[in-house]
Amino acid sequence: MFEPLAAAGKGETRATDDPIRRTRQKRSGAGGSDPVFKEHGEPYFREGERKVIARLLRTGPQVLATGGGAFMMAETRDCIRQSGISVWLKAELALLLRRVLRRNNRPLLAKDPEGAMRQLMEARYPIYAKADITVESHDLPHDAIVAEIIAALAHSPLLRADAKAAIDETGTIATDPKHVANSR
């Protein structure tokens, strides 16, 4: 989904689970986050995820898609806030369930997906609301949501005027960290 957003910003798109998955595959031949959760637990996974996010944020302009639990860690939120602009794609329960039930790689949803999702939303949504920008996610084509994200960024006081001008003129996002306002 994030490739069009990264293309608009002339950067890369990365998912934080990918480096964790690759590291896990190199070490044991197993893939995905599920074996890490099963063998070492969620705190271990989140610590690895925190390190991956911090490393990736130092690599330049990009759209970084984190997993749902990543933003729950205060240290990770601070790292994101120092290096960029966080965007929460807020969605209703029914939409989230349709999306996550397409795959069986969600260890926190294994037993009772709807009940677990309700609990996660109750615990996480107040923290997610700390994101710099919130965009309502709907059952729309990805390009429509990307356009909403770009519009929200264009109106954000966190994006410097020169980056906003670039959006206005070209419809693209200047994702260089120097375009993030330092007046937080």
Q: Which one has a higher pLDDT value, 26 or 120?
A: 120
- Beta-ladder partners of 87: 133
Least confident of 92-96, 105-109, 138-142: 105-109
Q: What is the mean pLDDT of residues 144-156?
A: 87
Q: How far apart are CA 40 and CA 60, in angstroms?
A: 31
Q: Give the pLDDT score at 178.
A: 47
Q: Give the pLDDT score at 174.
A: 46
Q: Give the pLDDT score at 58.
A: 87
- How confident is the model over 119-147, as pLDDT tens digits? 999 999 999 999 999 999 988 988 888 88
- How confident is the model over 43-90, as pLDDT tens digits? 888 888 888 889 888 887 778 888 788 899 999 999 999 888 899 999
Q: How far apart are CA 69 and CA 85, in angstroms?
A: 17
Banded pLDDT at 28 (limits 50, 70, 90)? very low
- The CB-side HSE value for 80 (13 A sphere, CA atoms) comes to 26
Q: How far apart are CA 83 and CA 53, in angstroms?
A: 11
CA 74 to mean position of chain CA atoms = 15
Q: Give the pLDDT score at 59.
A: 84
Q: In degrees rounded to 5, what are phi and psi of residue 67?
A: -75, 165
Rounded-to-10 torsion of CA 177, 18, 65, 117: -150
DSSP 11: S
Closest CA to 106 of 22, 42, 19: 42
Q: Which residues contact residue 36 at a Cβ distance below 8 angstroms, ignoring those fewer than 6 apart? A: 20, 24, 44, 45, 48
Banded pLDDT at 38 (limits 50, 70, 90)? confident
Would you call 83 exposed, middle or buried from its count of C-beta atoms within 10 A (0-12, 13-18, 19+)?
Answer: middle
Closest CA to 42 of 9, 19, 20: 20
